[in-house]
């Protein structure tokens, strides 16, 4: 029998069946119990959110034994733990995912149905924790899923933003930002741990003195102290006992502050200090690939990194007499440079607070950290002005200077009399306003450096980090990104998952390479028909959602051509828009044209301060308004902008795609991960040779991928040869017509000024080579249109895309990190007196 009986948690405390039992009656009772005792509601007064909360607690209870056992196991001295430091975790809703990973989805569905409710409706109540901007934050979420599923001891460390990424509304075709009050109704998945809060200092000055024993000592006298309170969320692996911890820090005012002010009678002063402390974790900076250089952002970074390192040291000292072998217990991954302040912070903790010699501390530090770079865009490379840095972190600036002094001494030996080399490698940029280069700090302080796709890693070695590569080639490696098949296939595309499992069993869910077994059915007409049916169902569901959320009625038999991602000039959503205008013009010129009906679907947020990106949204919605309302083309072209693209809203998108738009300028997209989600769900890609597109094409086969555009070297070459977008414009009638229509106000009710900034940037600069790739893109799209007419051939390509996308599992990526960077092994968690749930 699969029902766990009451079991012993701590020797004296028995946890009753209602919190662990998995039979339908127990689940129903637990659900009703939570509604009454936790939400304080009777069925007659309960809101859908009350029901959701009651269910969430019912599920959380069933995670706790695994979670506590995992945490306890990791305290063992012989276990090495991965600490993933990330300023962003774009988790998406927990409930559905936990049901799947626990293996109790069907049972809960039955229990909820028998309670007279609808599980889907309850699941839809969850406010997703949108604690990230886009790919970088979502990658962190996929990686902690894989770490747990692979039974790797790991802690995710980050920030508990009170307001995550803003909600997007579209008003009059423009993006409007709404504050994300995700904590409004409480968060049932987290547990606060105020008893292990830590103190973080900020500002002030540094005292150097010699102590009684004659040692040089440093004393940092801050002008502010902030309390860091951890909030823990369990991250359960798929059908394993491992439940790792995501520990997110919230900033609070330390009590001492209130006290002081209270004593001098300055009540309002005390409240001010409280507000200013709590500001640190108030809001996520909503920029992707663009740094702002704001003081508060530096404070956020330092705050969560200091909290996390102090927490690791605390844990370590529970089992060890000193910190000499710290690096053998913790592998700390820096998710981009955002946490790279960890390098001087660990030095400070070891040297200043634990009185370790510099050399030994440096040895430990540089054997602890590893650094992942996620972008080549210059505007995304973090630099902090020395002045600001010194004001916020005076001691860290001193430490960075000392790290730099020693580092440059080494460089001088390697490159004698080479001032240019010194200047280009230095942690300090001396040009203009002096600044600290965080990527250089991360490189010097880490034993491993990686890029996130083959092409990206090569470009790092060749360009952005070339001098570091020359110095330490052995530190560099590639770790191509991956996505978790649990959320991105099993959870979001149950129809496809069941079809696949019926054919090849369900081992693919944890061994995604097994999807290859589908190749043998790619030509099988019966399987093709089933495959088409699944896709069609998904398209129907998305059609319904589009109607509900935008009012636009689309044809589910048309080709779903989808581009969802942050809005950015380098991602070239406007190139997609030019294609739509081109098709529109063709149809206007020739109403009888045999054109494959298409629905163009866009989704994505623009950084609130990124004017050009917001204008791109307005362009897309404006083109949509004209196209969707023109009776001449209405049934063959539709344009939809799905508002508020986030993890929840993406759920119906990937499964419904026929065509995935991955059209960034070659050399700009580090990897992309949406490209992987689409391909896994059987969409074909139209894409450039950029980021992981290169590897997707390699895997699925060139014949199953629509390639266009300049290569990275060709982009460089054209620019060197004086590329002028005017020439392309003048020589290409289709392009010229499309641009002229935008320019003359065709899509803006005659307003010729509206899109002028966007057009000027294309005509006078075209930094991202839109015009250079235009014709090739259009021609490629024509091939796509033709291919879509041949249903069976298209379906075969679709099947092969899924079958050959196994490489893009985050399990594969995490295995590589474990073996090649972290040197960690799985540690299976044993649960005593616990019968496993295996639905
Ligand atoms: C990004 C890259 O732009 C994206 O290509 C990559 O897939 C992702 C995860 O590695 O990281 N870098 C930044 S910054 N934001 C991203 O999404």
| pLDDT tens string 668-709 | 999 999 999 999 999 999 999 999 999 999 999 999 999 999
527 touches 565 (CB < 8 A): no
In this structure, the residue with its CA closest to atom 9 of ligand 1 is: 136
Question: What is the Å distance from ligand 1's center to 289 Cα?
Answer: 8
- Those residues whose C-beta lies under 8 Å from the C-beta of residue 366, and which sit 6 or more positions away, are 444, 445, 446, 447
Contacts of 627 (CB under 8 A, 6+ apart): 580, 584, 633, 634, 637, 638, 639
Residue appearing with tokens 């033709």: 786
- pLDDT at position 14: 53
Encoded tokens for 304 = 């969560």
What confidence score (pLDDT) does residue 262 get? 63
Tell me which of 804 and 839 has the higher pLDDT: 804
Q: What angle do CA 683, 684, 687 make, to 5 degrees?
A: 125
User: Count of domains in the chain?
Assistant: 3
Mean pLDDT, rounded, of the chain: 95
Residues 575 and 427 in one domain: no
Is residue 335 lining ligand 1, measured as CB closer than 6 Å? no
Between 292 and 661, whose confidence is greater?
Answer: 661
| Token pair listed for 249 | 């820090």
Same-domain check for residues 468 and 437 = yes
Q: Verify whether residue 677 is a known catalytic residue.
A: yes
Alpha carbon of 814 to ligand 1 centroid (Å): 17
Type and span of the H or E element at 476:
strand 476-478
Ligand 1 atom having least distance to the Cα of 672: 7
71 and 195 belong to one structural domain: no
Domain contains 319: yes
- Residue 403 and residue 359 share a domain: yes
Tell me which residue range forms the domain holding 37. 1-76+93-127
Residue 626 Cβ inside 6 Å of ligand 1? The answer reads no
**80 labelled catalytic:** no
The residue out of 423, 452, 478 marking a domain boundary is: 478
**136 and 113 part of one domain:** no
Query: Is residue 45 one of the residues assigned to a domain?
Result: yes
Residue 516 lies in a domain: no
Residues 361 and 346 in one domain: yes
60 close to 101: Cβ distance less than 8 angstroms: no
The predicted pLDDT at position 6 comes to 45
The answer to the question of residue 333 being in a domain is yes
Residue 820 located in a structural domain = no
Report the pLDDT value the prediction gives residue 256, as an integer from 0 to 100.
64
> What whole-number distance in Å separates Cα of residue 296 and Cα of residue 565?
27
Query: What value does the mean pLDDT take over residues 215-238?
Result: 96
59 and 147 fall within a common domain: no
Predicted local confidence at residue 276, as pLDDT: 84
**CA neighbor of 482 nearest in space, from 118, 836, 147:** 147
475 catalytic residue (yes or no): no
Distance (Å) from CA 705 to ligand 1 centroid:
22
pLDDT in tens, 750-788: 999 999 999 999 999 999 999 999 999 999 999 999 999
Q: Between β-strands 174-178 and 476-478, what pairing exists: parallel, antiparallel or unpaired? A: unpaired
Task: Return the ligand 1 atom nearest residue 380 CA.
Answer: 14
State whether 119 and 209 are in the same domain: no
> What's the pLDDT score for residue 271?
78
The best mutation among 335, 338, 375 to test binding of ligand 1, ranked by most ligand atoms within 8 Å of the C-beta, falls on 375
Detail the DSSP E strand segments found in 205-362: 205-210, 216-221, 224-236, 243-252, 330-335
CA of 476 to the centre of ligand 1 (A): 18
Which positions ≥6 away from 427 have C-beta within 8 Å?
A: 400, 403, 404, 407, 436, 437, 440, 441, 444
Q: For tokens 């990230």, what's the residue?
A: 132
Nearest-5° Cα angle at 652, 647 to 655: 110
Q: Are residues 139 and 111 both part of a single domain?
A: no
- Atom index in ligand 1 nearest the CA of residue 566 equals 17
**pLDDT at position 12 over 80:** no
Residues 62 and 132 in one domain: no
Residue 399 placed within a domain = yes
Residue-level pLDDT at 275: 85
pLDDT, one tens digit per residue, over 627-666 is: 999 999 978 999 999 999 999 999 999 999 999 999 999 9
Whether the per-residue pLDDT at 543 is higher than 60: the answer is: yes
Q: Kindly provide the b/e burial profile for residues 539-561, where b requires at least 16 CB atoms within 10 angstroms of the residue's own CB.
A: bebbbebbeeebebebebebbbb
Kindly state the average pLDDT of the residues 255-272.
Answer: 70
* Active-site residue, from 62, 677, 697, 804: 677
Q: What is the rounded CA–CA span in Å between residue 778 and residue 191? A: 52
CATH of the domain at 590: 3.40.50.2000
The finding on whether 376 has its CB within 6 A of some atom of ligand 1 is no
Q: Report the pLDDT averaged over residues 493-518.
A: 98
3-class secondary structure, 75: coil
The 3-state secondary structure of 750-798 reads CCCCCCHHHHHHHHHCCCCCHHHHHHHHHHHHHHHHHHHHCHHHHHHHH
Structural domain contains residue 429: yes
The pLDDT, as a whole number, for residue 258 is 60
**Is residue 701 included in any domain, yes or no?**
yes
Residues 434 and 577 reside in one and the same domain: no
Three-class secondary structure of residue 626 per DSSP: helix
Q: How many angstroms is it from 188 CA to the middle of ligand 1? A: 30
On the question of pLDDT at 803 being above 50, the answer is yes
Does one domain contain both 135 and 6? no
What six digits make up the tokens of 478?
């590639």
């Amino acid at each position: 029998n699969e029902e766990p009986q009451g079991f012993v948690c701590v020797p004296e405390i028995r946890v009753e069946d209602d919190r662990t039992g998995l039979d339908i009656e127990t689940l129903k009772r637990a659900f009703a119990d939570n509604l009454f005792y936790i939400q304080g509601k009777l069925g007659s007064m309960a809101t859908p959110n009350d029901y959701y909360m009651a269910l969430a607690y019912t599920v959380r209870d069933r995670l706790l034994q695994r979670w506590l056992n995992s945490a306890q196991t990791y305290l063992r001295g012989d276990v090495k733990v991965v600490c993933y430091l990330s300023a962003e975790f774009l988790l998406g809703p927990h409930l559905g995912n936990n049901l799947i990973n626990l293996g109790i989805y069907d049972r809960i569905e039955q229990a909820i149905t028998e309670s007279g409710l609808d599980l889907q409706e309850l699941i839809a109540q969850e406010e997703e924790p949108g604690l990230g901007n886009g790919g970088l934050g979502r990658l962190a979420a996929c990686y902690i899923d894989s770490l747990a599923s692979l039974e790797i001891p790991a802690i995710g460390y980050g920030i508990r933003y009170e307001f995550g990424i803003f909600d997007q509304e579209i008003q009059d075709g423009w993006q409007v930002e709404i504050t994300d009050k995700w904590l409004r109704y409480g968060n049932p998945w987290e547990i606060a741990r105020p008893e292990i809060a830590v103190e973080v200092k900020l500002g002030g000055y540094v005292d150097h003195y010699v102590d009684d024993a004659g040692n040089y000592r440093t004393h940092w006298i801050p002008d502010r102290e902030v309390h860091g309170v951890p909030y823990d969320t369990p991250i359960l692996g798929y059908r394993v006992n491992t439940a790792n911890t995501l520990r997110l820090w919230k900033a609070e005012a330390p009590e001492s502050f209130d006290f002081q002010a209270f004593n001098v009678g300055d009540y309002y002063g005390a409240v001010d200090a409280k507000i200013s402390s709590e500001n640190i974790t108030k809001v996520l900076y909503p920029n992707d690939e663009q740094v702002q250089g704001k003081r508060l952002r530096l404070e956020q970074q330092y705050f969560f990194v200091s909290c996390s390192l102090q927490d690791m040291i605390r844990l370590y000292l529970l089992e060890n007499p000193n910190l000499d072998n710290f690096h053998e217990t913790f592998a700390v991954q820096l998710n981009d440079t955002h946490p790279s302040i960890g390098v001087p912070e660990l030095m400070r903790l070891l040297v200043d607070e634990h009185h370790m010699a510099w050399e030994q501390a440096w040895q430990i530090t540089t054997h602890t950290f590893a650094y992942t770079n996620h972008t080549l865009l210059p505007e995304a490379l973090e630099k902090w002005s020395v002045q600001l840095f010194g004001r916020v972190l005076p001691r860290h600036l001193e430490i960075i200077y000392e790290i730099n002094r020693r580092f440059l001494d080494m460089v001088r030996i390697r490159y004698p009399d080479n001032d240019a080399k010194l200047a280009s490698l230095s942690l300090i940029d001396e040009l203009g306003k002096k600044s600290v280069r965080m990527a250089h700090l991360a490189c010097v302080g880490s034993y491993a450096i990686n890029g996130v796709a083959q092409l990206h890693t090569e470009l790092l070695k060749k360009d952005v980090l070339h001098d570091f590569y020359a110095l330490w080639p052995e530190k560099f490696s590639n770790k191509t990104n991956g996505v978790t098949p649990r959320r991105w296939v099993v959870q979001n595309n149950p129809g496809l998952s069941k079809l696949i499992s019926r054919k090849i069993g369900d081992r693919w869910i944890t061994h995604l390479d097994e999807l290859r077994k589908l190749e043998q059915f790619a030509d099988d007409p019966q399987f093709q028909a089933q495959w088409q049916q699944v896709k069609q169902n998904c398209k129907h569901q998305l059609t319904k959602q589009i109607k509900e959320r935008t009012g636009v009625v689309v044809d589910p038999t048309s080709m779903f051509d989808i581009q969802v991602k942050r809005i950015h000039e380098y991602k070239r959503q406007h190139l997609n828009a030019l294609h739509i205008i081109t098709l529109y013009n063709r149809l206007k010129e020739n109403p009888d044209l045999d054109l494959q009906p298409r629905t163009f679907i866009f989704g994505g947020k623009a950084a609130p301060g990124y004017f050009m990106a917001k204008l791109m949204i307005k362009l897309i919605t404006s083109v949509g308004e004209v196209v969707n309302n023109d009776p001449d083309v209405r049934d063959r072209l539709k344009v939809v902008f799905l508002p508020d693209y986030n993890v929840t809203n993406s759920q119906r998108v990937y499964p419904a795609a026929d065509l995935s738009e991955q059209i960034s300028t070659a050399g700009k997209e580090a990897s992309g991960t949406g490209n992987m989600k689409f391909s896994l769900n059987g969409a074909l890609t139209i894409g450039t040779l950029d980021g992981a597109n290169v590897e997707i094409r390699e895997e699925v086969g060139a014949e199953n991928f629509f390639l266009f555009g300049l290569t990275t070297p060709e982009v460089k070459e054209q620019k060197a040869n004086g590329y002028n977008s005017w020439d392309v414009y003048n020589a290409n009638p289709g392009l010229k017509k499309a641009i002229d229509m935008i320019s003359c106000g065709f899509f803006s009710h005659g307003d010729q000024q509206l899109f002028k900034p966007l057009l000027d940037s294309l005509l006078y600069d075209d930094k991202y080579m839109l015009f250079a790739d235009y014709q090739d893109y259009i021609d490629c799209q024509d091939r796509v249109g033709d291919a879509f007419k041949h249903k069976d051939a298209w379906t075969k390509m679709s099947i092969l895309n899924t079958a050959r996308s196994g490489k893009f599992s985050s399990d594969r990526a995490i295995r590589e990190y474990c073996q090649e960077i972290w040197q960690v092994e799985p540690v299976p968690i044993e649960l005593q007196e616990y019968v496993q749930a295996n639905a």
